[in-house]
Structure 1
Amino acid sequence: MYKKPAFPTRFFSVSRRYVFAALFIVCAALPLSASRRAVFLWQGVRSMKSCNSVMFMSKPENANGSALIICPGGSYHHLGMYNEGHCTAKRFNALGVTTFVLRYRVAQGGSHHPAQLEDIQRAIQLVRENARDYGIDPGRVGAIGFSAGGHLVTMAGAFAERGNELAKLGIDVKVSLRPDFVMAIYPVVSMRDDIANKWSRKSLLGKNMSEERKERFSMEKQIPPTMPPTYILACRDDPVVKFENSRLLYASLKAKNIPCRFVQYETGGHGFGMLEGAFMKETRWNEDIESWLKENGMLQN
């Protein structure tokens, strides 16, 4: 699907020094009808007691049973919690979706793989195991990720069955770790030398840059037949993550007959998140995502 907004390329980024300030600003801006709480992922897990990974849950008054885990980007080094995290939560709360903004471990704090995959799998586990308490349908739990977060949610879909990191930690998982749908927004996809986002690759893989690991984490080569329905959005003029990443992911999904939608824009850049900025005002791409979710039965009352 090709779309061409009539405005110049825009690039948004948020310095890590503003992350915590942004959290309070955005939470204050959320509708009063949305109840919020922090859910610490590793509380009670002795081997992970030093980990402070957390997800910020926001449940709207008109909750419809759908749940969404939100993974901000930041090159696996830091996290853009404002425009890609809490602004995203606010938009989906307006649709009746209960959201969980995931503050997963990153290289800035000394964490490389498998920390990030452990965190998102643990988030999926906790959301499903507490579905009754959270008022959600365990069969409508999805994930959206931006940039490196797009790579992470794609990993969650691709490695749910053959990459259970929680089992390696001695955690008995009684629910599926597979998200019911995945949305990858201007995603990092490949670790290939010619198209990889080098910062994301270094932050994820650390010092072990073997060819085997590059292949293992090039998601265009790892899509299984059980991959959940996937939505991809990317801009051809993206100056941070090469557009070819998204094209390769889409081709791989199509080759495996995975239900998917690929929305492409000629201009738009990278890092715009779900802010009500020029890109959102021109494209209203949030409405296209809403339509896609309804088509896949993920926005039911």
Structure 2
Amino acid sequence: MKKLSLLLILFSALFSAQSSRMIYQYTFRPDSTKVDSLKTEWMYLDIQKDGSKYYSKNTFESDSIINESIKKQMAAGMKNISVSRQNKGGEINYEVEKTYQEYKTYLTSRIGNDSYKVLEDRKIDWKITPEKKKIGEFNAQKATVNFAGRNWTAWFTNEVPVLDGPYKFSGLPGLIVEVYDDSGSHKMELKGIKKLVAQKAEELNTQGKDIPFVKKKPLEVNRQQYIKQLKQYQNDPVQGMREIMNQPNSKIKVNINGQEFTDPKEVLRALEQNAREEMKKNNNWIELKP
């Protein structure tokens, strides 16, 4: 009891500033045909006064490295920008933002060379059960829901003053400390909480250049428009890159897994082959019905 009281005091201190980071371990099976294809990614759920943001630690760091490299090349006056696309970055390229005052949820996801911000128009209708158990230091209660084609089980605690959770999951009377689907393909577990140091987001000024693999300002679309873009990408994964390379004086050097390509035809061929291999290996999306 004494230990729990100390934890509650600590959490109260953490949340008094309205800025905290929940650290989740996300375990997922990208290939539904391979039982042993489980991967793990560290995810952040940053809690602010007006809302939250859920994103991949590795992807964020990888994007920052790419941006720094491009800034240095542009500052040096280089006409041809070299972008290295390595597999050291994160597997998860989407972010989820929630607004607490408007109670809205947005998915920001990359499709090819473009980024889209999608308002979630489906309600997550939880069914809270009386079942309870201890998860780590927390007393948690069970809730279930069918969302986007999967049956989900969540365990939430009211011992942390946050009504939120990883990905799009929220709306329970407490913080979600664990959530998983019934196929065992996707599982998010709370592993830590720490105070969040506010950082000002810095936008990359590409000076009008359309540079591949650089995080762009997302286009706001509805869910039906987003689904249409997904299908177009599946049919032609290099359409966006083809448009970039057809621009006047466009010269692109791309590094894919350590191999460099400069010839336009070779770039497109390599990118398409890589994209189709990735789609084949990543067929077990978190949303079976986007």
Structure with the larger helix share: 1
TM-score range, shorter chain: under 0.3
Q: Which has the higher strand share?
A: 2
TM-score by length of 2: 0.27
Q: What TM-score comes out, normalization by structure 1 length? A: 0.26
